[in-house]
Amino acid sequence: MTTAARTSAPVSNTRPAIAGILAISVAASLFLFWLIYVHPASDAGSTRYAFLPALNAVLNGLSATALLIGFTFIRARRIAAHRASMITAFVFSTLFLVGYIAHHALHGDVRYPAHGDFRTFYLSLLASHIVLATLTLPLVLVTFFFSLTGRFPQHRKIARWTFPLWLYVSVTGVITYVMLHLALSRG
């Protein structure tokens, strides 16, 4: 891609694409809510695929790592390396989402067994994680849309919000997994 092609944004209207991204994001959020809180687990008592939560935590950690590397690359103006890192983070987050859906479809929701201050902290962290993950999905998709369509001023503007939220969601995903895993192994 030439420098001129990279710096000039297409003139076409972005509203239909952003509306589609928002519709997909709302549908995905509603599906996840249904899956976790309404749909009965298909194999709740089984230990099959018990590795999925640990794998999901690893994928979240890898996503956070790729995000930080991508941030470092863009600060150094290494655009191609930044793009590769951000696509890698997106792939890890997508694989996480597939594993998360599979785990909840099979095993359902797992309650945090501890009480007191640890439970309060865990539930507060989990609540912030869930709310921000719901907001982050459309932000990530819109940020990628702007980048992939050459709308770099818009990409930079929204990426300033997307990056810290996506990083927070990835890191808190790992922390909530570790907290739940430790609480379950003690109880």
- In tens, the pLDDT along 126-166 reads 999 999 999 999 999 999 999 999 999 999 999 999 999 99
pLDDT digits (tens, 9 = 90+) for 50-70: 899 999 999 999 999 999 999
**In the chain, how many domains are there?**
1
Name the 3-class secondary structure at 110: coil
Q: Are 38 and 166 in contact (CB under 8 A)?
A: no
Assess if residue 119 is contained within a domain.
yes
Assess if residue 111 is contained within a domain.
yes
Q: What is the pLDDT of residue 187?
A: 63
- Which range of residues forms the domain containing residue 111? 48-186
Q: What is the pLDDT of residue 10?
A: 53
Alpha helices in 38-187 (DSSP H): 52-75, 79-107, 117-148, 152-186
Q: Please determine, for residue 6, whether its predicted confidence score (pLDDT) is greater than 70.
A: no
Show the tokens assigned to 120. 């309060």
Assess if residue 14 is contained within a domain.
no
One-character DSSP codes across 36-57? HHTSPPSSTT--TTTTHHHHHH
Assess if residue 156 is contained within a domain.
yes
Assess if residue 169 is contained within a domain.
yes
Assess if residue 73 is contained within a domain.
yes
Assess if residue 54 is contained within a domain.
yes
Q: What is the pLDDT of residue 2?
A: 47
Assess if residue 16 is contained within a domain.
no
